Chains A and B, each alone.
Chain A
Amino acid sequence: MPATLPAKNFPLLDQIREIGRQARVSALAVALYDYALDLRFSVQASRVFHAASTIKLAILFALYRAAETERVRLTDRLHVRNRFRSQADGSTFFLQADRDGDPDLYKRVGRTATLQELAETMIVRSSNLATNLLLDHLEVPFVTEMLAAAGLEGLRCVRGVEDEAAFARGMNNSVTADGLLEFFRRVHESRALGAENRDRLFDILFQQRFNAMLPAGIPDSAKARVAHKTGEISTVTHDAGMVFLPGRAPYALVILTEYPSAGTGGARNKTVAAVSAAVYEFLQAAGSAATS
């Protein structure tokens, strides 16, 4: 059983609340599990948030489960096509290259790409086009089934990105901090994927190009490697991942934020980075105390 820190009068909790207060968030959830200290800490970890691009973790997971069960091969090629059907009513919708984290994939429309390539661009550059292609191929019920089979109840995938008809009907992908934490723990511990696919999945997450949040809270001198996925849209800004530090076991950390008004980038990224920094400093201090 991991140690669970008391919520009252706990300095890390106070720090996180202060960061949230200063940033004027409407909600801030944190879930932490440290393998080195066998310690679990959470704040509002069961609160449901719009997933934004963190839902891509669920699709990545389902893809590797599909590969593991030989439903697909990662070398399979898919037609790169920017045309999708809404999960709500079957209507057609298209993605906008200039609103996508990776406009390059649009240059390959009409051609093919392997599932592995699409998985990489979905995560590393947060490509919406790759996400919808993979989800179309795997299909929503399969992703749901894989999440349920792995016991990942806090991740709910109901539609692709920019499916406005589904959005209008309130069909949104959602996550909880606990759900994402459980995702990282189960994958890391090979409870949800075999070791080979776990390593492939983490290899992709290590290549993440958006590093202004969770990794930004950790000093360069720590030489951390962070396997993570960000998510930003409208009123939410998230980051979730695992932090690997030299000479110690890793920790999994999920930080989800929600704001009363729309906006992305800059200050909101810094808020998540500040929470990440607070967690890092706390674990450093706790680790030193445990050692002494």
Chain B
Amino acid sequence: MNQTTRDLPVVDALRLPEEIRALLRPDELLADRAGRQHRLPRFFYEVRSWSQAKELLLTPHVRLSELLIVDSREAPRLLEDFPHYVPCAVSLLARIIEDLRAKVGAPVFVAANGGYRSPAHRLSVHASPHLWAAAADIYRVGDTWLNTQSSVEKYGTLARELLPDVNVLPFGHQPGETDDHLHLALGYLRAVPAGCDERGSELNSGNPGATLPALLAPSPFESASAQTS
């Protein structure tokens, strides 16, 4: 039987070991390309092994592993060692990809580095929804490679029909544009599953008074707030 996110422990990254916290930077503010500040995610799924990521279906057709593929520009600890951590918003990202797949009637392929990547990844210069597991770089739909203006615009339009607030970068060769994939983003989405307690941010400012357990019971989403940009 396939695993789901219900089989994954949810962790409060503020309570993770310093080595990991320094890479994930939970609750820290990070500026986007325009200088706007965004608070990085705090609650993550803990993935024990690559085989677990490959077996775990986020939706009927989207495996967790597809959204975790990164190259050597990722921090070695997050690339090679387990457990891996992925922001809980990844479930919602998978849902929009699944819906797009159903709408176009063909498999949707997410590029390496184009699902979740950490703030420590060398491509993570600015705040990008990829760091929230809330963006996907789709390079291929069925047999169509998304490297032309017409293909990028066609599938961007279809994605917006699914969810008007989804952010799609325009076709072009400049920063903030794409020319070899469709960048589809839900925004800086902080997902807080039920059972999680959002107190304890003071840990970031050096106050050790928080009492949250690092590991929280797996549970469905209680709330999710999305901001597109």
Known: A82-B180, A92-B179, A94-B147. A110 touches B111 (CB 8 A): yes
Contacts of A3 in B (CB 8 A): none
Residue of B nearest to A109 (CB): B139
**Contact count A vs B, C-beta below 8 Å:** 42
For residue B145, CB closer than 8 A to chain A, the reply is yes
Known: A72-B72, A76-B72, A78-B71. A112 touches B173 (CB 8 A): no
Question: 8 new A-B pairs (CB below 8 Å) besides A77-B71, A79-B73?
Answer: A76-B71, A76-B72, A79-B71, A79-B113, A92-B179, A109-B145, A111-B69, A112-B69
Contacts of A78 in B (CB 8 A): 71-72
Chain A nearest CB, measured from B118 CB (Å): 15
User: Are the C-beta atoms of B179 and A81 separated by less than 8 Å?
Assistant: no
Chain A contacts to B: CB under 8 angstroms: 72-73, 76-83, 91-92, 94, 109-112, 115
For residue B109, CB closer than 8 A to chain A, the reply is yes
User: Are the C-beta atoms of B180 and A111 separated by less than 8 Å?
Assistant: no
Chain B nearest CB, measured from A271 CB (Å): 39
Instruction: Say which size band chain B's interface belongs to.
Output: 10 to 19
Contacts of B110 in A (CB 8 A): 110
Contacts of A79 in B (CB 8 A): 71, 73, 111-113
Contacts of B145 in A (CB 8 A): 109
For residue B140, CB closer than 8 A to chain A, the reply is yes
Contacts of A76 in B (CB 8 A): 71-72
CA–CA, A279 to B180, complex, Å?
Answer: 48
Chain B nearest CB, measured from A172 CB (Å): 24
User: Are the C-beta atoms of B173 and A91 separated by less than 8 Å?
Assistant: yes
Contacts of A92 in B (CB 8 A): 173, 179
Sample 13 A-B pairs with CB under 8 A, ordered by A number: A76-B72, A79-B71, A79-B111, A80-B112, A81-B111, A82-B147, A94-B147, A109-B139, A109-B145, A110-B139, A110-B181, A112-B71, A112-B112
CA–CA, A115 to B113, complex, Å?
Answer: 16
User: Are the C-beta atoms of B72 and A77 separated by less than 8 Å?
Assistant: yes
CA–CA, A256 to B193, complex, Å?
Answer: 66
Contacts of A110 in B (CB 8 A): 109-112, 114, 139-140, 181
